[in-house]
Amino acid sequence: MDSIIILFITGLIGLFAGMSKKPVASLLIASFGLIGAGFAAYYRGSYTSPFSSYAAFVPTQGIVIILLCAVTLLAVLGGFKRYKNDDEHTGDYFGLILFSLCGAILMAQPNDLMLFFIGLEILSIPIYVLVGIDKGSSTSAEAAVKYFFTGSFASAIILFGIALLYGATGSFQLIEIQSNLAIGIWQSPMAMIGSLFLLAGFTFKIGAVPFHFWGPDVYDGASNAVLMYMSTVVKIAGVYALVNVFGQVFRDSYFFWIDLVSLLIVISMFYGYITAWKQTSFRRLIAYSSIANAGLMLFALADIHNSNLFLFVAAYALATIALVVCNQAINDDSDHLANWEGIAWKHPLIGIALVLALFSLAGIPPLAGFFGKFSLLWSAVPHVPYTAILALIASVIGAFVYLRLLLLALKKPSVSIRIQLSAEQMLVLALTSVASIGAIYFI
Amino acid sequence: MAKDLTLLLIIALPLIGFAINGLVGKKMPKTLVGGLATGVVFAAFLLATTLFSGLHGTQIVNLFNIIDFEQLRINASFQIDALSVWMTLIITGIGSLIHLFSMGYMSHDEGYYKFFTYLNLFIFSMLLLVLGSNYFVLFFGWEGVGMCSYLLISFHYNDAEKGLANSLAGRKAFIMNRIGDVGLLLALFMLLGQFNTLEFLQIGKALETNTALQGGAMIFITLSLFIAATGKSAQIPLFTWLPDAMAGPTPVSALIHAATMVTAGIYLTVRSNFLFELAPFTKDIILYVGLATTLFAAFMALRQNDIKKVLAYSTVSQLGLMFVALGFGAYTVALFHVTTHAFFKALLFLGSGSVIHGMHEEQDIRKMGGLAKLMPLTHFTFLIGTMAISGIPFLSGFFSKDEIMAQALHHNPVVYGVLVLAVTMTAIYMFRLYFLTFQGQFRGGEALKSKVHESGLSMTLPLMVLAVLSIFGGLLNLPGLFFKGTAHWFDHYLSHGTFGLSAVHNAHLDFSTAMGLMLFASAIAIGVFIWAYLTYAKKGATAKADDALTGWEQLSAQKLYVDEIYNTLFVKPLLALSDFIGKVVDIQLLRNGVYALADGILNTANLTRKWQTGFLSSYLFWMVFGLIIFVAYYILKLSVWH
Amino acid sequence: MQAASTIGTSLDFYLFVSFALFTIGAIGAMTRKNMIVLLMCIELMLNAVNLMLVTFSTYYNNGDAQIFVFFTMVVAAAEATVGLSIIIMAYRNLKSIDIDMYNKLKN
Amino acid sequence: MALILLPLVFSLMAWFVPSAFTRLFGLFATGVALVWSVVAVCYFQPEEQILIDFGLRFVRFSIDSLGFTMILLTNAVFLLVYLSNFTGKIVNDRKFTALALLMQFGLLGVFTTNTILGFYIFWELTLLPIFLILYWFGSFDKPRALLQFFLYTLLGSLAMLLAVIGLMHATNQQTYEALLVADINALGNTSIWLMGGFLLAFAVKIPLFPFHTWQAETYTKAPVAGTMLLSAIMLKMALFGLLKWVLPIFDGVATDFWRWPIITLGLIGVVYGAIVAIRQSDIKTLFAYASLSHLGLIAAALMLHDDNTNQIAVVQIVNHSIVSIGLFLAAGIIEQRLGTRQMSELSGIAKVAPRFAFWFGVLTFISLSVPFTAGFIGEFFLIKALFNAHAVTGFIASTTLVLGAVYTLRAYQVPMFGPSKFASFQDLNWSEWLVFAILSVAAIYLGLAPQCLTDFVAHSLTQPTH
């Protein structure tokens, strides 16, 4: 609870500090808030919801909150450069991000469908705004429109699922729903269809096939700064919600939905990676790669008892942020991949971070990406071996995509003009690089 | 001095020579290099004589273990018995003579020290081959001499116009030998499988104790051994490398391709006699292969015009003769001919070398003639060699050939008839060679004639020694019908000193047959001599130009087109196959196949991209579609469950 | 679980209505081009769910669902405001609220 | 411990070495690593094992005699690669030095790790530096050839990853010793699939016949140093994995199932590689196919999984490292001096560069496995083992004697002999000469006394498997 409160307050302060046209101030406040929230989660991790007298359905993992806060911190640090200059939006940026982070934390581990739904909306609505934050650009407007309509449509679907579930079990308390389903109600059509609708909603949130369509367009239209937050935190929160709500509540109907999930995994991975191959815009490429990674994340459902998700999402988030920061360093709005030619040589930090990030995404040891993939598959393989085989084949195609990007970035440029990185960007790149190697100690 | 120490010294000396010449030979003066190389071999020869004099029974000298596994132990160990010591004598004795000769012959060559390095290495490997007490050491030396022969054949690789040809000749020799080596390798494996050892004596003992091992296995083993022999000893079908090997310097031809290495096949067969005795089938094969070889090679030699080529084909033919003897199981006879052949063939080659040296690298007998006056010593010795090989009575060749003929007549008159033909041809081409080279008019032009000179002492001395040997070599194994006491000394020596040979008994003809045989042989030889004298010396007939040849002459000059046949049968198809696999299968099919697969997968991206139409309504539609899929999945599941 | 209910017999009817409303909303969202209408359709879907929730709540006669309905309304309101402002901004850029004009981002 | 970590430390240091001293640093680093391992092996009792534990959950190390052999081989290879390119530009590049040392670390890890996952991790770790080396210093006109190499290997590795996970799940074990005693045969067909996963990875790396398509292209376009590293030591990882891990662990149902398929592929590779090599016009490509032929023989013999054959296979592995370094060095020298590798354009080098001709010749004969060289012993016993398994396989394997002579001699004679096309050809410099000399001495020593090596590795190869 404390972390949410801290975030909310610092968000407000940041919002108002923005009006004082002192970007650094609001950055400091925001980072302070995020760090504070992280520490709060570390010391007082588990909390009971004010909205219900029930004990938490899934014991709150402070580590998840810390991860969310840390990723957000990296995102705002990386994105700060973009808002340093147009200071009329600085406050909005930090404020909105912190608010939606509150939603993310709520949504990630609720004990109540109501709470979950509210968290979901608190997460989404600020992002609708953030996507369209620069009023001038038409692509940004289009992205906002698309994201808003698809998003609210998905909310409606989730809501429908919740309603059906309530109809089947007569409660919103996850713990009650679970116990009611356990005594056989899960076989009632209402419960089953409700669970499927919920699954559809989650699939939308993490952006897996067939509810992925918003991804590429929205990522493309949004600014790098927003992209950093959207492509990481939303997915992390969504997938944890998926595991903690869906996976736990419907654990009795595991054999009912697991095949569908496997199908989603395979389709998402192949579709995402293959489509990413032909992309010419970096942000779209990241979008498709994130679709594929969303497919991988669904492996967390394969083993409902221990879903070793943490390393994977962490590695994915860090690598994505590193890449987007590098893309931001190019500082070109056309966002064409051709600009990537030889950027690894323009700054040593960019070079190192890029190599590590891309190899990490490709899943080459000893980088974080490998350990993430390994621990995810470690628990998944015994349950869905064939899906795992297909997933690995798909990730070879993925390696194609990332390596092509790497080769592009490593091409020796004729004239190497050095890019100037701002201090916080350097910090982000350094942190991500260190983290992607330091993951060795989790294994 | 203890025998084993002597033996090790014999083997070590050439190695030392090789090492010193190889490392510092470049810096040393030529005489020192040659002297060292010759000295070590000659010293080895002297030591070998001591072994020979003190020889009784068989002795094994174990040096160290090459491989020592629980199932299988292979030692670097050596064997002293009549056979190995005799071969050692031939190798070191003739070897030292040829080293001596080379000192003069190679004196103008820039690769002088390299040449002697290789020669010593060859002597070393050859000694390993004959002295080893098991097939592995033998194989060791077997491969070693192959390598040295390659090095020495392609010795003049830097020669401007013939350099590549020389090296190609070397390569041909190496590859053909390798084909034979495969046979030896397989034989070794089969022996290991049968006896779990490679020691000659142990295998022999094992065969004595259990007689179950006859037939099938033995036939395979001996056949593989014989394939190896055909490779080294240039028998059909692997004989074509030997004539090409004449690209090497003449002393090499004398040492490797006449006296020693090419007889390794015969040595191998004699050494494995206890195996061959159990496989009569293989012995027949050997007989007929040897017979065909001796006949065809003799025929090919009839119209060769390169002095060394003639000798090369005669070598092949003589080797065939030895295999005929082996085919009859007359091992000592074959080895006797090996010995005498080593004498006179080395003599002939060195003589031709002396001629070539005097003629300034001219090898075509059509440009020679009348050399008798220009280089008398060479002429005299060469004549002796010719008479010896053609079987003029009471020279070494006469006796050794006669033994073989006797065996043939005793076992199989048809074979005898063919041999008579071959022997006649031998006499014909040898005397043709002699007369065209040394008698008649000089055809090389005055300019050359003025330069022709007799060779120095270092070259003529070996000639004289070998001439003496070729004359009296026959005394080693006089036929029984005269000199009862000393008769068949060589047979006794070998058959009592070598494992397995005591069991083998050569056929002995009764007095009248043997007498008639000898008279007939002498008649042939002398008749041919007279005919040749009349044709070439008196009528002054000369070798025709290549285009003037007709019918059988053409056939003989073109070596029965064997090289061409092999090219079309084996070489070209192999190259074509290589091209096909390399270009079509490997690149087109496999590599591009992989690429095509990858492209095929990745190009589906062009389709999948289309899914992202950019129209919100289509997105919403697909989301609803997804929901419908989910529901459909639900219905499907239900229908599966119930 | 079957609690005593006042509308138990006609439950299906209410459910049918809300299903129908939801479907109508969804189809409208798919087919209509005008963003405002789109927004209305989505509101319609949300309200369809509200109706369902209320129905169930009466059926089980416990209050949770009705509280939930209020939350839903609040959320719907929030979405409406954000949505409308987004539409306005979009209109400023492209001078159109026809959804099919917005397909620069694709593939 | 330093035995393994030394190269890693050096590779980090390499980034900060002033570029003037990079080549000296590289030489120093590899030299220190080699000396260290030599000293270590002096204090090492072949019967025992050295256990190293950094406190990681999934990665532990233990060095037995086989591991020590491979460590020595690795360090020696890296030193030789440095020496042989010492005058070239590449070793003066900070990136190359750092990456090469990182790769050395990875290889040492592969050869010494004690856990199956550790084996996989280090296996993949080596892929990363070699990929960058090839990209930066190779002559890949299109990236696709490079991608093909990387993804081919990656596909294999991922199959191995699945197999690793499956194995760890199936046995609940991860350390080598525990897996040895685990009852794999109880798994039945599962064990066959698991072994298949490993074999796919190895077949791509070795490479075996249908999976070799990356090899020729990569070898040809890689820088000489890269080619040396690939063929001299990287491919050995697969043979090592076969020898140390897969065959002992899967001894039983799985091995019996896979034995003949792998032997068949290996022998196809022997003949196929040799035949293709005969007509190659590019020296490097020719040697690449030759390597396919040689390694196919080793792989086939390994599948017999008989102690003595394994010991001899180690000899042959070392021999192949020697040969490939030597031959690729020769090819590299020709390319560096004359700027071409096409046989058709080469002739008569021997006349202008006698010393080079001599040493190249020596290496040629070593690769022809003539007597007095390690290859003689190695080929003899490997073919013998195959012959004992079945006469036909032995016969097919023995054709390598003939075909090998054909293409190797061609590769040597065509450039070296004949009319000299080049006025000047700078003869060997001291470092290249030193490399050739070291290689020849090593090969001849092994050829005369293979026993020392076979006895040394025997301690870890002849352990009782379940």
- Give the pair of three-digit tokens for residue D109: 């890890």
B63 touches chain D (CB under 8 A): no
pLDDT, residue C1, reads: 43
- Tell me: pLDDT of A45 over 60: no
For residue C59, give how far its alpha carbon lies from the nearest alpha carbon of chain B (Å): 25
- Alpha carbon distance A201, B21 (integer Å): 87
Residue of A nearest to C53 (CA): A163
Residue of C nearest to A277 (CA): C107
- Tell me: pLDDT of A31 over 50: yes
Residue of B nearest to A401 (CA): B602
Crossing angle, helix A90-108 and helix A23-43, to 10 degrees?
Answer: 10
Task: With beta carbons less than 8 A apart as the criterion, state whether A419 and A350 touch.
Answer: yes
In tens, the pLDDT along B390-399 reads 989 889 999 8
Residue of A nearest to B615 (CA): A146
Q: What is the pTM of this model?
A: 0.91
Longest dimension (CA), chain A: 70
Sign of the dihedral defined by the CA atoms of residues B510, B511, B513, B514, in that order? positive
For residue A156, give how far its alpha carbon lies from the nearest alpha carbon of chain C (Å): 6
Q: Are B125 and D394 an interchain contact pair (Cβ–Cβ within 8 Å)?
A: no
If asked whether residues B49 and B98 sit together in one domain, one would say yes
The percent of residues in chain C predicted with pLDDT above 90, rounded, is 43
Q: Domain total for chain B?
A: 3
- Give the pair of three-digit tokens for residue B508: 């002995």
The beta-carbon neighbor of B630 closest among A150, A200, A274 is A200
Interface probe with C: pick from B620, B621, B627, B631, most Cβ of C within 10 Å:
B620
Task: With beta carbons less than 8 A apart as the criterion, state whether D64 and D460 touch.
Answer: yes
Place B213 in a pLDDT band, splitting at 50, 70 and 90: low
* Residue written as token pair 């002498």: B522
The percent of residues in chain A predicted with pLDDT above 90, rounded, is 35
Q: Which helix (H) or strand (E) holds B68?
A: strand B59-68
Q: Which CATH architecture group holds C10-101? A: Orthogonal Bundle (1.10)
Longest dimension (CA), chain D: 69
On whether residue A280 sits in a domain, the answer given is yes
* Chains C and B touching, counted as 3 or more CB pairs less than 8 Å apart: yes
Three-point CA angle B317, B322, B325, nearest 5° = 130
Q: Looking at residues B122-126, what average pLDDT do you find? A: 94
Q: Are A117 and C99 an interchain contact pair (Cβ–Cβ within 8 Å)?
A: no
Interface probe with B: pick from D150, D279, D307, most Cβ of B within 10 Å:
D279
Q: What are the φ/ψ torsions at residue D218 (nearest 5 degrees)?
A: -65, -45
For residue A279, give how far its alpha carbon lies from the nearest alpha carbon of chain D (Å): 17
The range of the structural domain enclosing residue B356 comes to 3-542+550-557
In tens, the pLDDT along B214-245 reads 667 888 999 999 999 999 999 988 999 999 99
- Alpha carbon distance A398, B602 (integer Å): 10
> Is residue D354 reached through a cis peptide bond, with omega within 30 degrees of 0 on the bond before it?
no
Summary mean pLDDT of chain B:
89
Q: Looking at residues A163-187, what average pLDDT do you find? A: 86
If asked whether residues B456 and B580 sit together in one domain, one would say no
Residue among B295, B312, B304 nearest B553 (CA): B304
pLDDT, residue C2, reads: 47
B582 touches chain D (CB under 8 A): yes
Touching A (3+ Cβ pairs <8 A), the chains are B, C, D
Contacts of A143 in chain C (CB under 8 A): 105
pLDDT, residue C26, reads: 92
Q: Domain residue spans in chain C?
A: 10-101
- Tell me: pLDDT of A80 over 80: yes
Task: With beta carbons less than 8 A apart as the criterion, state whether A105 and A188 touch.
Answer: no
Task: With beta carbons less than 8 A apart as the criterion, state whether B28 and B113 touch.
Answer: yes
The beta-carbon neighbor of D162 closest among A381, A399, A440 is A381
* Residue written as token pair 């008892």: A305
pLDDT tens string, chain D, 466 residues long: the values are 678 889 999 999 988 888 888 888 999 999 999 999 999 888 888 777 888 887 777 888 888 889 999 999 999 999 999 998 888 888 888 889 999 999 999 999 999 999 999 999 999 999 889 988 998 888 887 777 888 888 888 899 999 999 999 999 988 888 888 888 888 888 888 899 999 999 999 999 999 988 998 998 899 889 999 999 999 999 999 999 999 999 999 988 899 999 999 999 999 999 999 999 999 999 999 999 999 999 999 999 999 988 889 999 999 999 999 999 999 999 999 988 888 889 888 888 888 888 899 999 999 999 998 888 999 989 999 999 999 899 899 999 999 999 999 999 999 988 888 887 777 888 888 889 999 999 999 999 998 888 888 888 888 876 554 4
What would the DSSP string read from start to end of A83-100? HHHSTTTHHHHHHHHHHH
Q: Are B186 and D395 an interchain contact pair (Cβ–Cβ within 8 Å)?
A: yes
Residue of D nearest to B128 (CA): D371
The beta-carbon neighbor of B612 closest among A149, A203, A213 is A213
Tell me the residue ranges of DSSP E strands in A212-353: none
The beta-carbon neighbor of B604 closest among A189, A274, A400 is A274
Contacts across the A-B interface (CB distance below 8 Å): 73
Tell me the residue ranges of DSSP E strands in B488-601: none
- Helix, coil or strand: residue B134: strand
Interface probe with A: pick from D120, D160, D161, D190, most Cβ of A within 10 Å:
D161
* Chains D and C touching, counted as 3 or more CB pairs less than 8 Å apart: no
In tens, the pLDDT along B295-353 reads 999 999 998 889 999 999 999 999 999 999 999 988 999 999 999 999 999 999 999 99
pLDDT, residue D465, reads: 45
- Tell me: pLDDT of B385 over 60: yes
Q: Which amino acid is at C70?
A: F
Interface probe with C: pick from A160, A179, A214, most Cβ of C within 10 Å:
A160
Place C3 in a pLDDT band, splitting at 50, 70 and 90: very low
pLDDT, residue A53, reads: 45
ipTM over 0.85: yes
If DSSP states are collapsed to H, E and C, what string results for B197-246?
CCEHHHHHHHHHHCCCCCCHHHHHHHHHHHHHHHHHCCCCCCCCHHHHHH
Q: Which of residues 444-463 of D touch B (CB under 8 A)?
A: 450-451, 454
For residue A210, give how far its alpha carbon lies from the nearest alpha carbon of chain B (Å): 6
- Alpha carbon distance D415, D333 (integer Å): 12
Q: Which helix (H) or strand (E) holds A216?
A: helix A214-221
Contacts of B620 in chain C (CB under 8 A): 26, 29-30
The beta-carbon neighbor of D151 closest among A366, A400, A440 is A400
For residue A7, give how far its alpha carbon lies from the nearest alpha carbon of chain B (Å): 34
The range of the structural domain enclosing residue A405 comes to 254-443
Out of B210-214, B421-425, C77-81, pick the least confident.
B210-214
Contacts of A117 in chain C (CB under 8 A): 68, 71-72, 75
Task: With beta carbons less than 8 A apart as the criterion, state whether A145 and C35 touch.
Answer: yes
Q: Are B608 and A274 an interchain contact pair (Cβ–Cβ within 8 Å)?
A: yes
Q: Domain total for chain A?
A: 1
Residue of C nearest to B617 (CA): C30
What would the DSSP string read from start to end of A364-398? -TTSHHHHHHHHHHHHHTTT-HHHHHHHHHHHHHH
Residue of B nearest to D415 (CA): B164
Task: With beta carbons less than 8 A apart as the criterion, state whether A252 and A181 touch.
Answer: yes
- Tell me: pLDDT of B130 over 90: yes
Contacts of C73 in chain A (CB under 8 A): none
Bridge partners, residue C98, by sequence:
C34
Contacts of C45 in chain A (CB under 8 A): 153, 156, 160
Residue of D nearest to B589 (CA): D213
pLDDT, residue B218, reads: 87
The beta-carbon neighbor of C53 closest among A137, A163, A180 is A163
- Give the pair of three-digit tokens for residue B168: 């190609």
Q: Which of residues 254-313 of B touch D (CB under 8 A)?
A: none
Three-point CA angle A47, A52, A53, nearest 5° = 80
pLDDT, residue B211, reads: 65
The answer for residues whose C-beta is within 8 angstroms of residue A323's C-beta and 6 or more apart is: A282, A286, A354, A357, A358
Task: With beta carbons less than 8 A apart as the criterion, state whether A149 and C42 touch.
Answer: yes
Residue of C nearest to A135 (CA): C89
Q: Looking at residues B450-474, what average pLDDT do you find? A: 89
pLDDT, residue D463, reads: 57
The beta-carbon neighbor of C105 closest among A136, A148, A217 is A217
Place A52 in a pLDDT band, splitting at 50, 70 and 90: very low
Contacts of B601 in chain A (CB under 8 A): 274, 397
On whether residue A136 sits in a domain, the answer given is no
Q: Are B626 and A211 an interchain contact pair (Cβ–Cβ within 8 Å)?
A: yes
User: HSE on the CB side for A263, CA within 13 Å?
Assistant: 11
Position with higher pLDDT, B494 vs B504:
B494
For residue C94, give how far its alpha carbon lies from the nearest alpha carbon of chain A (Å): 7
Q: Are D417 and B186 an interchain contact pair (Cβ–Cβ within 8 Å)?
A: no
Interface probe with C: pick from A96, A118, A153, A185, most Cβ of C within 10 Å:
A153
The percent of residues in chain B predicted with pLDDT above 90, rounded, is 48
